[in-house]
Chain A
Amino acid sequence: MPWRRFERILVTANRAIIFLMMTVMATLVFTNVITRYVFNFSIIWAEEVSQYLMIWIAYLGAGLAMREGRHVAIEILQDRLPRPLGRTLRMAVGALVLGFLGVVTVLGFRFAAFAWPQETPVLNISLGIPYLAIPIGAMLFAVHLLLAFRGYVEKQYTPGYPLEELSGEEA
């Protein structure tokens, strides 16, 4: 199945990018604390870059978070309705979410294009670059949702990572 292969690669790449961004973000802020107190100077662009990285992480991670069932929703009605009806409702909600993500993608690209000539305060790169996090993230979220739509409807999520079991200890 070429689709499944594509999906695997997408998930792996998405996770790798998130990992890199998170690592760089934490390292930048931490390094800045150290350099300020130990060497008495600050990396002036660290704050701006890490802040934009956070926004990118928020939007690029949203699709993966959906796969793990991490977006809270009140599902009482869906669960209480007779099964076929509840499933239909969930499909409708999923479709509406897809539609909204499409809207955000289009508006987000238009907004980034609109802001392209402006520059960020410190780095003086185009302000459109951080703004792109929103449309690209929304688009990616939509792709994840399309690929895992069945999983979303059936609430079959990728399990998260059990942190305690990792330590291999039982109390």
Chain B
Amino acid sequence: MGLTLIISFVVGMIIGFPMSILMGGSGFLALLVDGKLSLLTVPQRFFNGINSFPLMAVPFFILAADLMSAGGITVSLLRFANSLVGHIRGGLGHVNILTNMLFAGISGSALADAAGPGALILRMMKRAGYDEYYAAALTASTAIMGPIIPPSIIMVIYAITDNKVTIAALFLAGVLPGILMGLALSIVNHLTAVRRHYLFRSPLATWRERLLGMWRAAPALLTPAIILGGILSGVFTATEASAVAVFYALFVGFFITRKLTLRNLPKVVVQSALVTSAALLIVSMASLFAAILTLVQIPQTVAASITGLSQNPRLVMTIVAIFVLICGMFIDTLPAVIILVPVLAPLADQVGIHPLHFAMAFVLNITVGMVTPPVGAVLFILAAVGRLNFEKLSRAILPMIVALLVVLALVVYVPAISLTLPRWFGFTH
């Protein structure tokens, strides 16, 4: 049964099955070959896999970010970032990083960041004279701050999969690693600007211009405050916060930026619904896959073989990190969370790694997989948006991957990076 599951999954992945259908399909095949369990398990697991109130934060965070984008907020964030760091050497590169960090406070998905502000900045960098491969590689790596800086779709799914961590605590844990990613990428950008003699400074903005930029971007800058503030003060749950964010974005779009109208609203809502559908279909079908994995005791086997090697938390973290990194090169983030977390989280617990620290390291680890070849969803999007050669882009992004791996190593080996903020707010002891 386990063998059928794994073989059909790997073969299906190679021949290009849609991931969601593939995980449902190989689960079904495994049940069919085994013949002991009722096939009605299939629809039952599909249903239960997404029958969750906390999961509703996923559609709402997607919708809130889309409404904000459609409301024209991306451009005001970009202008604000430009007034702050545009005058530095390699200015637009730093603007790219800062804009995506700010946008990450609204959006919970790297794909949205890459397709939204990412695509916009990529065009600007190209026009300014940056090498298009460098620009696209930088944009890809800044986009993956989206799921690290709260809110985050991956974190919502993680917290649903592993009941030892809460969405709120994981959101908080992501703040410092997110800032570290921004810093690491700024260093790469600075070194590249020096090495390639990039200047491209915008004129230095006056403080008046900066304040004006901040005022224009204020509706967007307030969103993370509403989401995190609301959750942390206990006013609402993450799901409720996401719904509030939706209506806040509607308010901003209709009354402040006035870019949303009753005519374009349905298109935006349907688009968010379709993004939601594709993501939830993966969650739904992967839960059958994960259930069968557990049934044939693969998590236990993997755990035993790793703890057989070592019981040392750091060593186990290292082994797990390398394992997840390799998985992340091939598997998309959401399926990876649903398949791997039930396997690895109990193992981490067993050797005494703090569940929240492990969760943060895992999320960052699997997110880096979105920009690593051969299979990186964000890399694919930017290659498509910029009409670039995928192999060349994969090579251009190597320096950024090195920088991101340094951050990953820090997060893996220094628990305080993940745990300090949650501890301040009383989420850990």
Binding between chains A and B:
yes
Q: Contacts A57-B277, A70-B275, A100-B21; is A131 near B16 (CB within 8 Å)? A: no
Q: Interface digits, A111-134 against B, CB 8 Å rule (1 contact, 0 not)? A: 110100000000000000011011
Please, which residues of chain A bring their CB within 8 A of the CB of B375?
Answer: 74, 76
Please, which residues of chain B bring their CB within 8 A of the CB of A47?
Answer: 53
Q: Is the CB of B259 within 8 A of A166?
A: yes
Q: Is the CB of A26 within 8 A of B247?
A: yes
Q: Is the CB of B377 within 8 A of A54?
A: no
Please, which residues of chain A bring their CB within 8 A of the CB of B46?
Answer: 104, 108, 134
Select the residue from B16, B25, B42 with max chain A CB neighbours within 10 A.
B16
Closest to B59 in A: A54
Q: Is B270 an interface residue when CB atoms closer than 8 A count as contact? A: yes
A162 to chain B, nearest CB (A): 9
User: CA separation between A54 and B25, bound complex, in Å?
Assistant: 22
Please, which residues of chain A bring their CB within 8 A of the CB of B275?
Answer: 65, 70
A53 to chain B, nearest CB (A): 9
Q: Is A139 an interface residue when CB atoms closer than 8 A count as contact? A: no
User: CA separation between A75 and B42, bound complex, in Å?
Assistant: 26
Q: Contacts A33-B236, A51-B52, A166-B259; is A58 near B18 (CB within 8 Å)? A: no
Please, which residues of chain A bring their CB within 8 A of the CB of B326?
Answer: none
Q: Contacts A74-B16, A100-B21; is A58 near B47 (CB within 8 Å)? A: no
Q: Contacts A33-B240, A65-B274, A74-B16; is A50 near B56 (CB within 8 Å)? A: yes
Q: Is the CB of A64 within 8 A of B274?
A: yes
Closest to A21 in B: B273
Q: Is the CB of A97 within 8 A of B21?
A: yes
Q: Is the CB of B25 within 8 A of A96?
A: yes
Q: Interface digits, B12-23 against A, CB 8 Å rule (1 contact, 0 not)? A: 011111111110
User: CA separation between A68 and B243, bound complex, in Å?
Assistant: 26
Please, which residues of chain A bring their CB within 8 A of the CB of B246?
Answer: 26, 30
Q: Is B303 an interface residue when CB atoms closer than 8 A count as contact? A: no
Q: Is the CB of A167 within 8 A of B43?
A: no
Q: Is the CB of B47 within 8 A of A73?
A: no
Q: Is the CB of A167 within 8 A of B17?
A: no
Question: Which of chain B's residues 79-96 have a Cβ closer than 8 Å to chain A?
Answer: 79, 82
Closest to B236 in A: A33
Closest to B22 in A: A73
A151 to chain B, nearest CB (A): 14
Top 8 A-B residue pairs of the complex, sorted by shortest distance between their CB atoms: A61-B277, A167-B72, A58-B280, A71-B18, A29-B243, A163-B69, A111-B43, A70-B278
Interface residues of A (CB under 8 A from B): 15, 18-19, 21-23, 25-26, 29-30, 32-33, 37, 47, 50-51, 54-55, 57-62, 64-66, 68, 70-78, 89-90, 92-93, 96-97, 100-101, 103-104, 107-108, 110-112, 114, 130-131, 133-135, 160-161, 163-164, 166-171
Q: List 29 contacting pairs A-B, 8 Å CB cutoff, sorted by A.
A: A21-B273, A22-B59, A22-B273, A26-B243, A29-B240, A32-B240, A33-B236, A47-B53, A51-B56, A55-B280, A57-B59, A57-B276, A65-B278, A70-B274, A70-B277, A71-B21, A72-B332, A74-B14, A74-B375, A76-B16, A97-B17, A100-B28, A104-B43, A111-B47, A130-B51, A163-B66, A163-B268, A164-B74, A164-B120
